[in-house]
């Protein structure tokens, strides 16, 4: 075991897989010699060579095409999009090509591609760096979307993502990169994709969340506890597909739920979670399932982040609304 930040755990996962399988290639803008703008690929080119870890020209669409072509020649690409706000440049490769390749070839050609990309607010980035666009890719058939919130989860989930034989979008919240350290096993291990994790057990209300909001929810749960409300916090970890078993088991126990996301209310995947709970457990519910989400504006100017981003106080308030319904 070692104490690692999330970014170290991510680097460790890539190192593990580069070592484990020579078909694994890591590439993107500045991921080579520079080691990535966040040092996520630090030392990897030196260790594995330029043939395995390399820089690309500055063109996201080209990176997507490169990954697809390399997959056709039986490589296992781990491509990086420097910030997920730049997804739009490569949206066709992600949501128009690699996601449907297995299907369009009737199962004959596969795309074992992992797309790593940072996102998320709270660190005062310039425009189009922090936007939560996971909702867009979660709507795309043929792709899985993973968002870890801890160093331990990040490593196990990234190894699973890289080993998965279908495309996986792996989103890394920038605020969580170095905000805390945690115990991470040094050997390679996997966490199944599509499996949520109960980060805090409780019996009064279920908080379904992911990304940085996991930590805000845990903080909110502490506040709620002071008021005698025992909240269960579910970290989805994979937002597509959803782990309905874990969500429903919790709702059946607590009979109340809220969904917490950093994305705007019209975006993210909150609405999908609410719909699934309503379809499958409406008779278990003592109150409607409410959402904590950002306002439906464009992502805020940096200096307005504090006012705009959902925080633990919003979660406490919404949880109380549901408990007191």
Partner 1 sequence: MNVVSTKTIEKVEEQFEAFQILDEQGNIINEAAMPDLSDEQLQELMKRMVYTRIWDQRAISLNRQGRLGFYAPVAGQEASMLGSQFALDKEDWILPGYRDVPQIVWHGLPLYQAFLWSRGHFQGGQIPDGLNIVVPQIIIGAQIIQTAGVALGLKRRGKENIAITYTGDGGASQGDFYEGMNYAGAYNAPAVFIVQNNRFAISVPVEKQSAAKTIAQKAVAAGIEGIQVDGMDVLAVYTATKQARDRALSGEGPTLIETLCYRYGPHTMAGDDPTRYRTSELDDEWAKKDPLVRFRKFLEGKNLWNEEKENEVVEKAKEDIKEAIKKADAAPKQKVTDLISIMFEELPNNLREQMEEYTAKESK
**Binding residues for partner 1, per CB under 8 A?**
51, 56-57, 59, 61-62, 64-75, 92-93, 96-97, 102-110, 141-142, 144, 164-166, 194, 240-245
In degrees rounded to 5, what are phi and psi of residue 43?
80, -10
Beta carbons of 174 and 120 less than 8 angstroms apart: yes
Beta carbons of 135 and 267 less than 8 angstroms apart: yes
Beta carbons of 24 and 52 less than 8 angstroms apart: yes
Q: What's the min distance (Å) between Cβ of 174 and partner 1? A: 26
Here the tokens at position 40 are 């996520």
Nearest residue (CB) to partner 1, 142 versus 185: 142
Q: What's the min distance (Å) between Cβ of 89 and partner 1? A: 8
Instruction: Give CA–CA dist 60/74, Å, rounded.
Output: 21
Nearest residue (CB) to partner 1, 3 versus 33: 33
- Is 129 designated active site? yes
Catalytic residue among 76, 129, 144, 256: 129
Q: What's the min distance (Å) between Cβ of 23 and partner 1? A: 10
Nearest residue (CB) to partner 1, 76 versus 175: 76
Measured distance between the N- and C-terminal CA atoms of the chain, rounded to whole angstroms: 45
Q: In this structure, are strands 238-240 and 197-200 parallel, antiparallel, or unpaired?
A: unpaired
Instruction: Give CA–CA dist 301/56, Å, rounded.
Output: 30
Q: How many CB atoms lie within 10 A of CB 49?
A: 11
Nearest residue (CB) to partner 1, 224 versus 242: 242
Nearest residue (CB) to partner 1, 62 versus 300: 62
Residue with tokens 């299907």: 103
Q: Residue 193: which of 226, 168, 228, 227 has the closest Cα?
A: 168
Nearest residue (CB) to partner 1, 34 versus 109: 109
Q: What's the min distance (Å) between Cβ of 57 and partner 1? A: 5
Instruction: Give CA–CA dist 112/266, Å, rounded.
Output: 31
Instruction: Give CA–CA dist 291/39, Å, rounded.
Output: 34
Beta carbons of 218 and 199 less than 8 angstroms apart: yes
Q: What's the min distance (Å) between Cβ of 62 and partner 1? A: 4
Query: Hey, which residues are catalytic here?
Result: 129
């Amino acid at each position: 075991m070692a104490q690692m930040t999330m970014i170290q755990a991510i680097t460790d996962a890539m190192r593990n897989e580069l070592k484990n399988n020579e078909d694994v290639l890591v590439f993107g803008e500045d991921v080579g010699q520079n080691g990535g703008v966040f040092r996520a690929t630090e030392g990897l080119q030196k260790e594995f060579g330029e043939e395995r870890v390399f820089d690309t020209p500055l063109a996201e669409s080209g990176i997507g095409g490169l990954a697809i072509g390399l997959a056709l020649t039986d490589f296992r690409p781990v491509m990086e999009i420097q910030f997920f706000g730049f997804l739009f440049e490569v949206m066709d490769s992600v949501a128009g090509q690699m996601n449907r390749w297995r299907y369009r070839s009737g199962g004959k050609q596969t795309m074992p591609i992992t797309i790593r990309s940072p996102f998320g607010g709270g660190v005062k980035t310039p425009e189009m760096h922090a936007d939560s666009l996971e909702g867009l890719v979660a709507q795309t058939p043929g792709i899985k979307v993973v968002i870890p919130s801890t160093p331990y989860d990040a490593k196990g989930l990234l190894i699973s993502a890289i080993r998965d034989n279908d495309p996986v979008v792996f989103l890394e919240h920038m605020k969580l990169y170095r905000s805390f350290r945690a115990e991470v096993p040094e050997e390679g291990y996997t966490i199944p994709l599509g499996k949520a994790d109960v980060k805090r057990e409780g019996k009064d209300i279920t908080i379904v969340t992911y990304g940085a909001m996991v930590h805000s929810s845990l903080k909110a749960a502490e506040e709620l506890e002071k008021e005698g409300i025992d909240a269960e916090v579910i970290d989805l970890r994979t937002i597509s597909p959803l782990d309905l078993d874990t969500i429903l088991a919790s709702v059946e126990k607590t009979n109340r739920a809220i969904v917490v996301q950093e994305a705007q209310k019209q975006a993210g995947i909150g609405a999908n979670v609410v719909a699934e709970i309503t379809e499958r457990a409406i008779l278990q519910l003592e109150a409607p399932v409410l959402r904590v989400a950002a306002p439906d504006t464009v992502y805020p100017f940096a200096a307005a982040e504090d006012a705009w981003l959902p925080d633990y106080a919003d979660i406490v308030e919404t949880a109380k609304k549901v408990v007191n319904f």
